[in-house]
Amino acid sequence: GKKMKNKKIIFGILIFLFTITGLISTSIALDNPDYTETIRPGLAFGIGGNLNVGEIVRIEYDIISGGQKDLYFYIENSTGDRVMDNGRVYGYGLYLFNVLYDVYFKIVFSNTMSLITSKTIEIKLDIIEVKTLTIGLPTSTSTFKSGYNYITWTSTGDITYVTIELYKNGVFLKTVKSWTSNDGSYSWYIYDDEYVDGSYYEIKISDYYDSSIYDYSSYFTIETEVEKTITITSPTSVSTFKSGYNYIYWASTGSIDYVTIELYKNGYFLETIANSVANDGSYAWYIYDDEYVDGSYYEIKISDYYDSSIYDYSSYFTIETEITSPIPPPIPPIPPIPSISIIFGIISMVAGVSIVVILISKHKRKTPEEVIIIQKEVPKIIYCQNCGIEIPDKTREFCSSCGTKIN
């Protein structure tokens, strides 16, 4: 037999074998047939070649002359086993042969049923390059978690780039990768809490240039949610909050965007400190003077603003904000009221003293008219500046001792 010519065309997925045959003696002249052969009685004509899995062979023929224009048509592998046997065919026919594994094969047209009549046939062959995508991972038992997860696939045909998408319950969720090389694997990073935990997720991979070529994975599971928790770290059992700014601290896990902060005492709600604040781990709480009664057994409660079932209480702590006023000095006792007799005695004594003082005052101010004041001049004693002798009489001009002039 002759070897099949190496001819390929791009075509869609075809996964079955079918035949179109005409009526007996009906023929259609083929355009540019690859082979035109006259098969003598008792002989066969074969075309052999290697095929690859995923390829499809398009076999078009037309028996244009000879008797009833009939031949036997089959395909056999390298060991002679028939992988397809279409029996007796007439006139025009078209077959598509899907190659399921790499194989050497031979297309055979046989005229062994004829003893005297030769048959002439035109044959046209094409190798159809089938594009396919088949996802390997994830499978139905796969569970993707936070971190890197691997998607794998195989392909046939000329596919340069692929698009990877995520679905859940058949509904599109997001594009995992808009385009990536068709190298058979992709490392997909999933963040904590990026998706809701659950099953019925699917991966779809399609040809970037031809979205009609695609495959879906089996349903698989995603588990990336982190348990939501809140843990208050301050105040503690030894904390004392006073007037001014006091700081509340907490830690959290999971997806908590906002929190509510409340004040309790002895297990009873007092007030909401902050209704909705960012879950950033701290809050500055301003307490005014005398805003709360001093004491212990106060508690802080912090809860998820959107899910009040997620919360934590602090330890009991103390608040001291009352202002203490200074203690006034004691009031002195009122002296007892004296009796009337004592009062009159005191008044009489005061009156008597007053009369005596007045009389003495008047007596001191009076000068008797009969008293005559006699004033006597006392002579002044001076001393000589030269010899120091007394000079009782200031009228002298010279010292009687040394003769020095007296100033």
pLDDT at 378: 52
Does residue 356 register a pLDDT over 80? no
**Mean pLDDT within 374-396:** 63
Does residue 376 register a pLDDT over 70? no
**Mean pLDDT within 313-325:** 90
| Residue percentage of the chain with pLDDT more than 90 | 59
Rounded to whole angstroms, the Cα distance separating 149 from 188 reads 5
pLDDT at 29: 60
Select from 116, 225, 221, 207 the least CA-distant residue to 165.
207
**Mean pLDDT within 287-294:** 94
Angle at 245 between CA 239 and CA 250, to 5 degrees: 55
Class of domain 132-223: mainly beta
Same fold, 132-223 and 229-320: yes
Region of residue 79 (left: phi > 0; alpha: psi -120 to 50; beta: else): alpha
Class of domain 2-130: mainly beta
Residue 133: alpha-carbon gap to chain centroid: 35
Where exactly are the structural domains of the chain? 2-130, 132-223, 229-320
pLDDT at 338: 58
**Mean pLDDT within 303-328:** 89
Cα distances (angstroms) measured from residue 173 to each of 107, 164, 168, 226, 332:
48, 11, 7, 20, 88
| Residue percentage of the chain with pLDDT more than 70 | 76
At 102, the pLDDT band (50, 70, 90 cuts) reads: confident
pTM higher than the cut 0.85: no
pLDDT at 7: 44
Check whether domain 229-320 has CATH 3.40.605.10, yes or no:
no
